[in-house]
Amino acid sequence: MMKENLSPRARAIGLKQLRALRALVETGTISAAARSLNVTAPAVGLHLRQLEALVGMPLTERHAQGLAVTAAGKELLSAQARVDAALAECSEALDALGSVERGKVAVGVVSTAKYFAPFALAAFRHERPLIDLRLTVDNRAGTVEALRDFALDFAVMGRPPADVPVEAEVIGDHPHVIIAPPNHPLAGRRLDLGVLAEQMFLMREAGSGTRALAEKLFAEAGLEPKVGMEIDSNETIKQAVMAGLGIALLSAHTVAAELADRRVVSLDCAGLPVIRQWHVVKHAEKRLLPAGRALWRFLADRGADYLPTLPNGTPARP
């Protein structure tokens, strides 16, 4: 007989109680939580009281700004997410057992990767049209959080996160360049980072991998760039650079078309481009089903075929 290692409290906590807490946090009130769960409000209230009694600590708090989750509540919500993910995985495994042609795959893509990942996914779907692909585009912080919560099967991103246990494979090289309008006074000159640090930089928002890379690049050189604007979109940054509002460090894959059309130019700077890699990344505890394993292998083995081609004159290596 299998030895049971669960504590009495762990054995007493039930799915209905955990889902009642999740519904309360997502909706804000017991009555709204009851409607979302299709049960009565007294039933939700009872589940929440039972859960707090088992934990021995408050799970939520009311403030002027609304409902806040305590540290104990966050632990339970994290456990509930893992339990639901395991149950969903089990259900999908039963549906897809013995077949790699069906199933669902939830893929996260950091916003910078949206310039090539959809083309790779489209090619995969052409080969396996019965697989249900679900694509989520977010910045790095949001994508890492989704991996942590088991909301994704895997993600396409740059540097794998260090604070989440993951497995990763390289897709291909990912160069980053500093772009400027073609008429910029530094265009066509050989530069160093000290000169560029005096220019007005347009930066991605905090939580973006591109922002973190730019800050790391200058910090390692003992420099601090002048930040003119913080913008949460690569497309808006490109338009702002073309308008002459500043220069920016961006993935060369996001500006391949603009570089080819000479709407922007890549500044020639020592140490650039910065070469990172694209990765396909999953939580180390996430068990991929047949459809997910097939897409993972497709991206790891053939994803580089869909990376944007850089125009002549854009160096592939520093």
123-170 pLDDT per residue, tens: 999 999 989 899 999 999 999 999 999 999 999 999 999 999 999 999
**Mean predicted confidence (pLDDT) in 23-52:** 91
Please count the other Cβ atoms lying within 10 Å of the Cβ belonging to residue 129. 8
Whether residue 164 lies inside any domain: the answer is: yes
Residue pair 33/23 in contact by the 8 Å Cβ criterion: yes
**Average pLDDT of span 84-111:** 80
Asked if the structure places residue 24 within a domain, the reply is: yes
| Averaged pLDDT score across all residues of the chain | 89
If asked whether residues 48 and 125 sit together in one domain, one would say no
Name the pairing type of β-strands 265-266 and 166-180.
Answer: antiparallel
Q: In this prediction, what percent of the chain has a pLDDT beyond 90?
A: 64
Instruction: Write down which residue in 46, 81, 116 finishes a domain.
Output: 81
Report, as an integer, the average pLDDT of 116-120: 95
Q: What is the pLDDT of residues 234-274, one digit of tens each?
A: 999 999 999 999 999 999 999 999 999 999 999 999 889 99
271 domain-assigned: yes
Clarify whether residues 289 and 166 are in a common domain. Answer: yes
**Per-residue burial over 252-270, b = 16 or more CB atoms within 10 Å of its CB, e = otherwise:** bbbbbebbeeebbbbbbbe
Same domain, 243 and 115: no
The domain of 122 spans 99-172+277-306
Domains identified in the chain, total number:
3
Specify the CATH number for the domain of residue 106.
3.40.190.10
pLDDT per position as a tens digit, 180-239: 999 999 999 999 999 999 999 999 988 888 899 999 999 999 998 899 899 988 999 999
Same domain, 138 and 286: yes
Asked whether the beta carbons of 159 and 185 are under 8 A apart, the reply is: no
Same domain, residue pair 186 and 251: yes
The packing angle between helices 71-96 and 41-55, to 10°, is 110
